[in-house]
Structure 1
Amino acid sequence: MAKQVIIEEFGGPRNMKLVETEVGDPGPGEIRIRHEAIGLNFIDVYFRTGTYPLELPHGLGMEGAGVVEAVGEGVTHLKPGMRAAYAANPPGAYATERVMPAAQVVPLPDGISFETAAAAMLQGMTVEYLFHRTTPINPGDTVLFHAAAGGVGLIACQWAKSEGITLIGTAGSDEKCHEALANGASHCINYRSDDFVARVRELTDGKGVDVVMDGVGKDTFFGSLDCLKPLGMMISFGSASGNVEAFGLQELARRGSLKVTRPTLFTHIASHESCMAMAAHLFDKIASGAVTIHIDQRFPLDAVAEAHRLLEARKTTGSTILLP
């Protein structure tokens, strides 16, 4: 028997229940994995609240690391006893053990801990596709990154620095700005005390930035567009403050022939080969020391509701993991 966090109806953190469930054998193309650490991400909130629909009851959690217990027919890249990690559909990582599709589960190098992997897979591969698979970004380019002291943000700050990219971050306090700067941001704007659009224009001598990476959504979207230089690219990859409301395409023309995209990690890792390549790139960044994964919060699995409350209140920094 395994312990698993499920929801039976959409809503607040209290709707999550820790239950005992039987874990069977993996079928063709599946594995059974025993978790050592589990990642917590804002996408988990979207599933919990019904922003992203699920057929209920359903487990939550997209990311974990542990030991492969058994493999099903046709699985060749993993063996029982191997260390492994993943960020993958379907949700269900908030569990001590689970059976899941194997295609997006990757072998974990010995030099990377379970905790680091559980905190790094979803956020780190998100940063990988933002910088390498969405629009060309070259050394010397300037990127505006919102929520720069969050889990994705701190990885992005380090990633940008390692590749000679100027990153201007935003964060909600001076303390969070200091953390972003310590991790490689060239500048960080406290959006609670400064107008980030005016400040970005000042920092870029009125030119604007080449790319905006915005996981906040509704609250920052139009301001982000105003930070772009002509022909710039807006990457809207999340909606922590709510979904962006409909807008006319003429807004992009008026601001300088701008481009907007709304990618997801799960499109990028849908191919087994692409997922393996992205994970290998991330692991190389970690192993080289270019990227350090900051785990600033750890919670036991049965305290998952408190972890969600703090995440939604933007009271976390870096990455958060659950320990089964």
Structure 2
Amino acid sequence: MRSQNTMELPEDFWIPIQLDTNNITSLSPFLVPQDHLGNASTFYGMAAFMLFVFVAGTSINALTIVCTIQYKKLRSHLNYILVNLAMANLLVSVVGSFTAFCSFSTRYFIFGPLACKIEGFMVTLGGMVSLWSLAVVAFERWLVICKPLGNFVFKPDHALACCAFTWFFALMASTPPLFGWSRYIPEGLQCSCGPDWYTTNNKYNNESYVMFLFCFCFAVPFATIIFCYGQLLVTLKMAAKAQAESASTQKAEREVTRMVVVMVMGFLVCWLPYASFSLWVVNNRGQPFDLRLATIPSCFSKASAVYNPVIYVLLNKQFRSCMMKMLGMGSGEDEESSSSQSVTEVSKVGPA
């Protein structure tokens, strides 16, 4: 990268005002360790965490995809959406977590400005697909159990169309920074890359892009999840009330309530810190903040590659039994989750 002074705008990275020097290149996250932002233990601790996310996220999501290919009984419309989620998580894990691990290990982004743009784009793409896939799962559950469209049957073709939608919209959301609406630069401790939500440079219109991401890539999916799961709980409570003497129905209502709470909490842990912090920075320009804290939301979003499949896949008894059979750890009996069976029974007394 060419040498720049403090009067020039860095095109590939951002330097806090309090760290400005007469030679910006001397602090470039592409050239030197960022020891002015944190001590070595902080960087190495983050490297260890990213290594865990890379190994665990890559393993479980790859296993989910391979397992679905091997076992035909897993190829249901819901599982297609879960595989789509696994593919998005795998992209985030392989590209984002591995790159972050290498960079935190060396305490700077060793791969250069071009790789930063590629990593930022790929992780944003995978993150958006993952986020919208969570909304699609909620939407599918609402259609199947609450039956708002009467006898409409959600088929595999519908699931594939929803999966295609997640990738199309994710591309629409992640591509603009490559062409001048915002930009991808190192964020937090400067060892991973994402959209520029630090600066107010009118050349990139960063503020409008951040608001676009917040509204259409966080608020809308979150509202979809809350509405669909809220309707699901109402339907189950109505069914449980109608079958007050049925132990299986009461058990299903409790189990699904717990699952919904876990799913919503998982979504918030994934994305609320990132959305909230970036929105705070945009609306509080000039206010100082610790870049170490700015790293936490990014890591939480990358960690979704691990806990998303734990929530949505490993809690699915059919998926779990097939995985254990493939790994030689179980008999792999063809069984469904008891809660899934009960929910199907409960839905029969729901609105037609």
Give the TM-score band, short-chain normalised: under 0.3
Q: Which has the higher helix share?
A: 2
Q: Which has the higher strand share?
A: 1
TM-score normalised to the size of structure 1? Answer: 0.23
Instruction: State which structure, 1 or 2, has the greater radius of gyration over its C-alpha atoms.
Output: 2
